[in-house]
Chains A and B, each alone.
Chain A
Amino acid sequence: MARATVPRRLGERLRWRTARLTRREDESSLARTLVLDVPGWPGHEAGQHVDVRLTAEDGYSTQRSYSVASAPDGETVELTVQRTDDGEVSPYLTDELTVGDLVELRGPVGGWFVWRPEQKEPVFLLAGGSGLVPLMAMIRMRRAVGSRTPFRLIYSARSPETRLFTSELRRGDPGLDTTYVYTRSAPPQWPRPAGRIDASVVSGGGWPPDFEPTCYVCGSTAFVETAAGLLVALGHHPGRVRTERFG
């Protein structure tokens, strides 16, 4: 079971730890969840990320950052990785890495794009594509600690097939409202044609600014620029809008 508190260890040196893949699951047509056992893992907060280091037999080594998808749960860390076809690391993680294989992992990192259970204000999550991953950690943290803080999520995906965490979000959580936006192809009969999020989606699926929600926006640069710009234009204070982007 997830723990509510995470040791604050900012003054301590972050160490590389050896992580072993214990399970992997298809999350969508493009993404896979990697369940890693990380001995000595100190715990993390919802929204933090880790550095992953891969080393080849010839000694070549490279690193990437990935958001943690899971709520804190002992020495288990889940990463949900979306494949980029021309990527150097993500195709290896999604297609090659099998149960029992080792990677190195360092973290957790980041103390800004996090949701802590002691926060009592409403939470507004805006996810574009795999930008849902750190926000899902917040949703899972909320569930794990039995928080009743009201959450609203707007999730923009290319098409229904590329959505992440589909069945978990369909099952839902009391107090979490989810609005889907499809940018390329919407299901038949879907009330809104395929297209980017706009002011009506953000105001319809979110909280009004006078509720003073904390807004977490994660996705591509284009998505974050659009979504954060809409929030500010609708009257949300820029200081309550936290953003994280992937390249």
Chain B
Amino acid sequence: MSVVSRGFRGRARDARHQLPPGQYETTGFPVLSAGPTPTVPLEEWEFTVRTETGVKHTWTWEQLLALPSESPTVDLHCVTKWSKFETEWQGVSLDVLLQDVESRADYALVHSYGDYTTNIPVEDLLDGKAWIAHRYDGEALPPEHGGPARLLVPHLYFWKSAKWVRGIVLMHEEERGFWETVGYHTYGDPWREQRYRGD
């Protein structure tokens, strides 16, 4: 049972959207990151999937854009408490990128330009649940939001949607990523409020 804070009423609640526990709605687009925004020239950009047997699959920027893309409209839930509803993206489904990748791995460690990492079970990347997104709200994805391309995994807290994504390493054993090693939850389901380790 929660402690009531005397005199706190909160704001009128918007009934159109359902918020996960502990979240509030924002209409802005807050930015969070651990360090400076990396700049990656498009001609040097590449995205690599490395399997547990060491096989590498690499896409250049042009090759990524040549793949069939989707335009998901999704809700975002950040562990710092904001949620943003009905955001519009364009990107390539991980189902497309992983369809010819031979792997029996259960776990993925996602790597970013700027050395950020985050871990995700492979099954959370498949079946229409994740994209390499390169456009937001009809425009090229701005650098502070992870441009040129970021992972988009909207059913998990937004730190899993790695900005400035550069590749995925597939493996049999789970390895924790950057925020996961400094106290955040390994999985990060907003609906089960898995914010911090042990939640």
Contacts and interface: CB of A to CB of B under 8 A. Distances in A.
Interface stretch (B21-29, B43-51, B64-72, B149-157): B21-29
Interface stretch (B31-39, B54-62, B119-127, B132-140): B31-39
21 contacts: A10-B182, A11-B198, A13-B198, A14-B198, A55-B2, A55-B5, A56-B4, A60-B13, A61-B22, A64-B24, A88-B24, A92-B5, A97-B5, A103-B5, A109-B196, A225-B31, A231-B36, A238-B114, A242-B34, A243-B34, A243-B35
A61 B28 contact: no
Interface of B: 2-11, 13, 22-24, 26, 28, 30-38, 80-82, 114-115, 144, 178-179, 181-183, 195-199
Given A11-B198, A62-B24, A221-B30, A56 B8 contact: yes
Given A55-B5, A97-B5, 5 more contacts: A92-B8, A110-B182, A225-B31, A228-B37, A231-B36
B2 A112 contact: no
Nearest to B36: A228
Interface of A: 10-14, 16, 18, 51, 53-57, 59-65, 88, 92, 96-97, 101-104, 109-113, 221, 224-225, 228-229, 231-232, 238-239, 241-243, 245-247
A96 B36 contact: no
Given A111-B183, A243-B35, A96 B7 contact: yes
Given A65-B80, A88-B11, A101-B5, A12 B183 contact: no
A11 B5 contact: no
Contacts of A59: 2
Interface of A is mostly: mixed
B2 A61 contact: yes
Given A14-B199, A55-B8, A245 B30 contact: yes
A147 B81 CA distance: 35
From A13, A16, A63, A232, residue with most partner B Cβ within 10 Å: A63
